[in-house]
């Protein structure tokens, strides 16, 4: 079946550091890939997505590139801020966008 | 963006009682809502798909008599955990799809933490 593996956290970084959160997947067919973010006390929010190989999703300074050859969708940001502290979930869907398979989530903590 | 609200955010109940969790789409109509369960340090697991006016579709391994889902209106779905036991303690999250297309964006509630004593 479909699955998503992402690095365990927590990830602790200083402000302005470079961020990478690794995400790899296994799926039947050609999945769409997503990153969701959950800020403290809030619901998951879509951060970015990519629907086909080599697509790059980007939003709020975050980027992720759909790599079919390595089945990866790593999340990157060049300079993190304290306000980026949250839990980040990698997810995929095959078929309809509604049925999402999530990774375990990676908690990011950014300090001054 | 669209807002989905869950209530209650935290609930503690005694073993054997039933607990109802509500999921509301506040500023849009949601034909389809989804219920997830999250165990500590585990990924979100889809429990069921709730369609307004019809029976929910449950994922394999989820007891439909244990987790009753009702989607009586376009803005409200409820999950009732019946005869709750300590192993039902978990974090329950709902999401709602905006629009009718299967590719419509999903909006998530903030989650409800259930603790069964």
The residue among B70, B71, B116, B77 whose CA lies nearest residue B94 is B77
Q: Is the dihedral of CA B38, B44, B45, B46 positive or negative?
A: positive
Contact A45 B44 (CB under 8 A): no
pLDDT at position B51 is: 86
CB contacts of B30 in chain A (<8 Å) are: none
Bond into B8 cis (ω within 30): yes
A33 in Cβ contact with A92 (< 8 Å): yes
How many whole angstroms separate alpha carbon B42 and alpha carbon A61?
27
Q: DSSP state, B104?
A: P
CB contacts of A43 in chain B (<8 Å) are: 4, 6, 93, 95, 107-111
Please determine, for residue A96, whether its predicted confidence score (pLDDT) is greater than 60: no
Q: Which of A42, A89, A105 sits opposite B110 (nearest CB)?
A: A42
Q: What is the DSSP string of B61-73?
A: T--TTTEEEEEEE
Please determine, for residue A98, whether its predicted confidence score (pLDDT) is greater than 70: no
Q: Which of A46, A97, A104 sits opposite B43 (nearest CB)?
A: A104
- Chain B: give the shortest CA distance to residue A111, in Å: 23
pLDDT digits (tens, 9 = 90+) for B27-75: 888 888 999 998 877 788 999 998 888 889 999 999 999 999 998 889 9
* 3-state SS class at B88: helix
- Nearby residues of A69 by Cβ (< 8 Å), 6 or more positions away: none
CB contacts of A44 in chain B (<8 Å) are: 93, 95, 108
Phi and psi at A82, nearest 5°, equal: -55, -35
How many whole angstroms separate alpha carbon A60 and alpha carbon A44?
16
Residue A53: how many other CB atoms lie within 10 Å: 12
pLDDT digits (tens, 9 = 90+) for A11-39: 999 999 999 999 999 998 889 999 999 99
Q: Which residues pair with A59 in a beta bridge?
A: A62
Contact B107 A102 (CB under 8 A): no
Contact B42 A43 (CB under 8 A): no
């Amino acid at each position: 079946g479909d699955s998503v593996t992402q690095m365990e956290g927590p990830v602790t970084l200083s402000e302005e550091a470079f961020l990478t959160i690794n995400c790899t997947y296994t799926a039947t067919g050609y999945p769409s890939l997503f990153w969701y973010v959950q800020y403290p006390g809030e619901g998951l929010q879509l951060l970015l997505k990519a629907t086909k190989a080599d697509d790059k999703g980007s939003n709020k300074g975050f980027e992720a590139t759909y790599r079919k050859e390595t089945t990866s969708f790593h999340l990157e940001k060049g300079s993190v801020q304290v306000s980026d502290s949250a839990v980040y979930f990698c997810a995929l869907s095959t078929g309809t966008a509604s049925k999402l398979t999530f990774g375990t989530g990676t908690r990011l903590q950014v300090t001054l | 963006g669209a807002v989905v609200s869950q209530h209650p955010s935290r609930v503690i109940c005694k073993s054997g009682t039933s607990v109802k969790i509500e999921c509301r789409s506040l500023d849009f109509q949601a034909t389809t809502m989804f219920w997830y369960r999250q165990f500590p340090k585990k990924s979100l697991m889809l429990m069921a798909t709730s369609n307004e006016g019809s029976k929910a579709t449950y994922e394999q391994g989820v007891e439909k008599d244990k987790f009753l889902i009702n989607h009586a209106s376009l803005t409200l779905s409820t999950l009732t955990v019946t005869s709750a036991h300590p192993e039902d303690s978990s974090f329950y999250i709902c999401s709602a799809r905006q629009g009718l297309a299967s590719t419509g964006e999903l909006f998530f509630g903030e989650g409800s933490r259930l603790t069964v004593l």
